[in-house]
Amino acid sequence: MKVLMFHNVGEPPKNARLKSLYVKPEKFKRWLNLLDRLNFRFVKPQELEPTGRGVLLTFDDAYRDFLENAFPVIKALKAHAIVFVPAKFVGQFNRWDYQKVNAIKPIMNWEELSFLVKEGVEIGSHTLTHPFLTKIPPAEARREIEDSKKLLEDKLGVEVKGFCYPYGDHNREVVEMVKKAGYQYAFTTIKGTYAQSPSKWEIRRIYASGYWTTLRFLWECLK
């Protein structure tokens, strides 16, 4: 099985950098409809298995274009998704990299996240402020991991089971922090299948590039 990693589902701003982060809405719809026609299962994190034709849809950073452009497609297909939220920036924007990518990307607010929870979308933690966890003091990293879980659970009224390492940045110490915080699974940015993942707290993913053709997307899901 494969875990697909998305960021933005929308049209990239004209002057934005890293436009591969944007999958255009019509392309996203075409990709998911194709997987559905080919009888791929859209699985939940706890349904991941080493073998089988299944995909898990993951979305980093909780951008509002998920609600506007991705969610309607996911709902129509009765699919599943997990959205990773930088909890301190709910209702704000991508403060951690807006200058680097030359784009201000709105992040969903609590009301919008609550709506998604009621619709069956899983919410995971992407820390409080999206730092490089191995480059900050351990006590600060622990706070980012633990307090984001608590904040999301308090605001949304659901258990937060999943975690995603910002920038994919992690080491053995950080992984142990995530385990001790009570997360049941965590996702990296290392390319690979679920079967190739070292553990449930180091799950590998496939970065779905907005530059891909439909044929390339299908190849990545099938190989």
- Among 126, 122, 124, 28, smallest CA distance to 70 is for 28
Decide: residue 69, CB within 10 A, 0-12 exposed, 13-18 middle, 19+ buried.
Answer: buried
Mean pLDDT to the nearest integer, 200-208:
98
Q: Which two tokens stand for residue 90?
A: 């709910």
pLDDT band at 137 (very low <50, low <70, confident <90, very high): very high
Q: Please name the amino acid found at residue 122.
A: E
Q: pLDDT for 94-135, tens place per residue? A: 999 999 999 999 999 999 999 999 999 999 999 999 999 999
Q: pLDDT for 155-176, tens place per residue? A: 999 999 999 999 999 999 999 9
pLDDT number for residue 184: 98
pLDDT band at 50 (very low <50, low <70, confident <90, very high): very high
Single pTM value for the model: 0.97
pLDDT number for residue 155: 98
pLDDT number for residue 189: 98
Q: Which two tokens stand for residue 66?
A: 């998920």
Please give the full DSSP string across 10-79, using - where no structure is assigned.
Answer: SPPPTT-S-GGGEEPHHHHHHHHHHHHHTT-EE--GGG--SSSSEEEEEEES-BHHIIIIIHHHHHHTT-
pLDDT band at 90 (very low <50, low <70, confident <90, very high): very high
Distance, in Å, from the CA atom of 131 to the CA atom of 136, rounded to the nearest integer, reads 8
The mean pLDDT of the chain is 97
pLDDT number for residue 130: 98
pLDDT number for residue 79: 98
Q: How many beta carbons lie within 10 A of that of residue 134, not counting itself?
A: 15
Q: Within 13 A of 42's CA, how many CA atoms are on the CB side?
A: 20
pLDDT number for residue 141: 98
pLDDT number for residue 13: 95
pLDDT number for residue 64: 98
pLDDT band at 195 (very low <50, low <70, confident <90, very high): very high
